[in-house]
């Protein structure tokens, strides 16, 4: 295996570990995927340091918040000790809206800034790209009417996910990257800059 192929393998394994360890509540191992000083997470419901994200994720996990991740296709651009990776993903969150149990499924990509730290790859910044989402009512006999005013506050890529999270008491960030538009173009530009500064 070439050096570049080995890097790609390590990065892919790191990102798979992120999803598996976070969703399983394996917090000690989950902490190891992040850069120890600079790890940063952006999401609909959280923006902050990796340390605080781990604490918030653990608290949610222990209080029954159900957010699961599934990964698909993956690519990585590597320049020296820096990399940008994109991984197709699905976020699946179960919760209640006005007493009705629902699943929200959001499809998109994880856009990750990585750096080699003390000889191993670490996650410096994770920014999901929210491409589209949908909502399912679990009980076919249940009736659910969404508030159009609340729903329309959020962009197409994550409006149902944001609606569920807002109903659960989270403050949901506006203007996150979607499939197209200024936010995702800015993210791509930041990714290119990250690699050129390597």
Average pLDDT over residues 117-143: 97
- pLDDT tens digits, 38-62: 999 999 999 999 999 999 999 999 9
- Predicted TM-score (pTM) of this structure: 0.95
- pLDDT tens digits, 28-38: 999 999 999 99
Q: What is the CATH number of the domain that holds 150?
A: 3.10.450.50
User: How many structural domains does the chain have?
Assistant: 1
Q: What are the DSSP E strand ranges found in 64-119?
A: 66-79, 82-97, 100-117
pLDDT, position 4 = 72
Average pLDDT over residues 3-19: 93
pLDDT, position 2 = 61
Residue 70 contacts residue 90 (beta carbons within 8 Å)? yes
Residue 82 predicted with pLDDT over 80: yes
pLDDT, position 5 = 83
Average pLDDT over residues 128-146: 96
Average pLDDT over residues 165-169: 94
Q: Cα(77)–Cα(100) distance, rounded to whole angstroms?
A: 43
- Closest C-alpha to 123, from 91, 85, 74, 88: 85
Residue 1 predicted with pLDDT over 60: no
Alpha-carbon 159 to chain mean position: 15
- Closest C-alpha to 7, from 71, 82, 70, 73: 82
Q: Cα(7)–Cα(65) distance, rounded to whole angstroms?
A: 34
How many beta carbons lie within 10 A of that of residue 88, not counting itself? 16
Q: Cα(194)–Cα(103) distance, rounded to whole angstroms?
A: 36
Average pLDDT over residues 108-125: 98
Range of the domain at 13: 3-196
Q: Cα(114)–Cα(135) distance, rounded to whole angstroms?
A: 32
Average pLDDT over residues 130-157: 96
- pLDDT tens digits, 83-98: 999 999 999 999 999 9
């Amino acid at each position: 295996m070439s050096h570049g192929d080995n890097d790609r393998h390590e990065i892919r394994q790191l990102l798979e570990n992120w999803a598996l360890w976070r969703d399983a509540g394996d917090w000690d191992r989950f902490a190891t995927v992040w850069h120890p000083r600079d790890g940063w997470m952006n999401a609909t419901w959280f923006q902050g340091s990796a340390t605080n994200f781990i604490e918030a994720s653990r608290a949610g996990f222990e209080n029954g918040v159900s957010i699961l991740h599934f990964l698909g296709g993956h690519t990585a651009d590597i320049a020296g000790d820096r990399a940008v990776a994109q991984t197709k993903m699905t976020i699946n969150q179960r919760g209640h809206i006005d007493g009705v149990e629902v699943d929200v499924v959001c499809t998109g990509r994880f856009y990750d800034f990585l750096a080699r730290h003390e000889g191993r790859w670490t996650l410096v910044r994770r920014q999901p790209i929210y491409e589209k989402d949908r909502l399912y009512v679990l009980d076919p006999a249940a009736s659910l009417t969404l508030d159009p005013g609340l729903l329309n506050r959020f962009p197409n890529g994550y409006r149902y996910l944001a609606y569920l999270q807002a109903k659960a008491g989270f403050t949901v960030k506006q203007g996150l990257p979607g499939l197209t538009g200024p936010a995702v173009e800015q993210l791509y530009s930041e990714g290119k800059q990250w690699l050129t500064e390597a």
